[in-house]
Chains A and B, each alone.
Chain A
Amino acid sequence: GIQVEQSPPDLILQEGANSTLRCNFSDSVNNLQWFHQNPWGQLINLFYIPSGTKQNGRLSATTVATERYSLLYISSSQTTDSGVYFCAVRTGANSKLTFGKGITLSVRP
């Protein structure tokens, strides 16, 4: 099946810093989503971005489908950005998402 690799596995930032989170995938996809999982386990949709670039406030994402990677940018990080960021992809006609192992982000005040 498709492989999803996220890097770096862990990231520590000082509040106000910027960061880039990467997601590589091994095959063509028709769906790519970025999620933020907070300390309570809630998986929050950040972006649905099978291709192109989107922005939402301090967050933006870019997917280059032909090169099989996606990037999540966090600018002016805040302590509330802490948590685990997951990239998940879908191939084929069903709804199964394959998740990466996640990137644990800690933002220090």
Chain B
Amino acid sequence: KAGVTQTPRYLIKTRGQQVTLSCSPISGHRSVSWYQQTPGQGLQFLFEYFSETQRNKGNFPGRFSGRQFSNSRSEMNVSTLELGDSALYLCASSLGIGLNQPQHFGDGTRLSIL
């Protein structure tokens, strides 16, 4: 069974640009969550999607957005990039919300802002 797939693995952008990251969950998983990891703030929850609807959102500005498609694949978008957006972005999938089962993480997308 394939794991969570994130693309691209690495990305370099400049300030002011926008970026879209992609996440394909494990087959059969319908919940996708996104996390940002930085040296200063650690791992922080961005948002969660289930059945194409955002179910939960962390404390990030509106420049961070996401969506989920009918096949459960998810994308997150960051607009007007800032230097502080440089981070490892991790996606996790699970069977569904409200169920007591583990989350599985992808290998992440490492975003560098110049």
Contact = CB atoms under 8 A, between A and B. Distances in A.
Interface of A: 30-31, 33, 35, 40-43, 45, 48, 50, 86, 88, 93-99, 101-102
B56 A35 contact: no
Nearest to A47: B102
A-B interface, 6 closest residue pairs, ranked by CB to CB distance from nearest? A48-B102, A99-B43, A43-B105, A93-B98, A94-B56, A96-B45
Contacts of B50: 95
13 contacts: A40-B107, A45-B102, A48-B101, A48-B102, A88-B43, A93-B97, A94-B97, A95-B31, A95-B33, A95-B55, A95-B97, A95-B103, A96-B56
B16 interface: no
Nearest to A86: B43
Contacts of B22: none
Q: How would you classify the secondary structure of chain B's contact residues: helix, strand, loop or mixed?
A: strand
Interface in B86-114: 88, 90, 92, 94, 97-98, 100-105, 107-108, 110
Interface of B: 31, 33, 35, 37, 42-45, 48, 50, 55-56, 58, 88, 90, 92, 94, 97-98, 100-105, 107-108, 110
A33 B102 contact: yes
A42 B107 contact: yes
A43 B109 CA distance: 12
A93 B50 CA distance: 12
Contacts of B43: 86, 88, 99
B96 to A, nearest CB: 8
A33 B104 CA distance: 10
A50 B56 CA distance: 21
A7 to B, nearest CB: 15
A92 to B, nearest CB: 9
Nearest to B90: A43
